[in-house]
Amino acid sequence: MILELRDINKSFGDKQVLCGVSFAAESGKAFGLLGRNGAGKTTSIRILMDVVPADSGEVLTDGKPIDYKRIGIGYLPEERGLYPKKTIIDQLVYLAQLKGMDRKSATRSIDQWLERLGMTEYRNKRLDTLSKGNQQKIQLITALAHDPDIVILDEPFSGLDPVNAMLLKDVVREQIARGKIVLFSSHQMSYIEEFCDSIAILNGGKVVLSGDLHDIKRNYPRDRLVIRSDSPEAIERDFGADCTRLSGGSLLLRLPSPEHKKTVMAQLASNYDIDEVKIYEPSLNDIFIEYAGDGAKEE
């Protein structure tokens, strides 16, 4: 299944918050929707979920208007939205029933998820007795218990310790392997890089960069080398201002042009004790700052 937002426009009063937003996500893959606060991510998600209507544009699955009665959507919001004084099992079953499950099926699914996430002992406790990380796991169950086709995760790793973050990673991988569309919205670029095949970056309500993440990185000018060496001082001295030190001790060497790559690599291998030399590939964090930071450019 292909999920597509096509030419979405949305204004609130005199303020236009989305300007022709288009992107597509595919079953069995994760998609990253990125942008600074106020860029339009939340409005895009709300339109996708049919919470608010677009002024114009379409939400499509496989090229046809999405059928919300047939396509299930699970949403993990950034902000907690559960009832702190209510028993966990009661509110999870209630919310699953709102999504079309009968009580028996809802209870069975929720108990399976409680066990999967190591939360069975909290089944009959109030939510406000749990830690922030465990509350996040309970909220995750509300997004997954009804076995949705589309899973939207807004800052899913917020509040999780490394052990629980690893557990959530496993759950995300399982959802992708089952052919779900998993849509991430996060400022934690390392997780986006780990899971997402494709991304869209919003800035000022517009998509300023979108596509396959690997292709985006490959399309950057290949005119810089990363070098690891036991004699970095000699390389710095000989290459002067074209060579800078990176965190961790590696060197970044800027080439006159990409065509000089082989010549300079051979020169390095011949004249210095080189442990590794490779083309510099920008991180997603670098790309995000370029397209969403102050003075960002548009594609």
What is the per-residue pLDDT across 248-295, written as a single tens digit (0 to 9) for each? 889 999 998 889 999 999 999 999 999 999 998 888 998 999 899 765
pLDDT tens-digit series, residues 65-102: 999 999 999 999 988 789 999 999 999 999 999 999 99
Reported as a pLDDT band with limits 50, 70 and 90, residue 246 is confident
Q: 192 Cβ partners below 8 Å, 6+ apart?
A: 32, 34, 184, 186, 199, 284
How would you classify the pairing of strands 64-65 and 56-61?
antiparallel
Residue 92: CB atoms within 10 A of its CB come to 26
Q: Can you give the pTM of this predicted structure?
A: 0.85
* Arithmetic mean of pLDDT, 205-230: 91
Mean per-residue pLDDT of the chain: 92
Q: Which two tokens stand for residue 121?
A: 């002992």
Q: What is residue 47's predicted lDDT score, i.e. its pLDDT?
A: 97
- Cβ contact 185:153 at 8 Å: yes
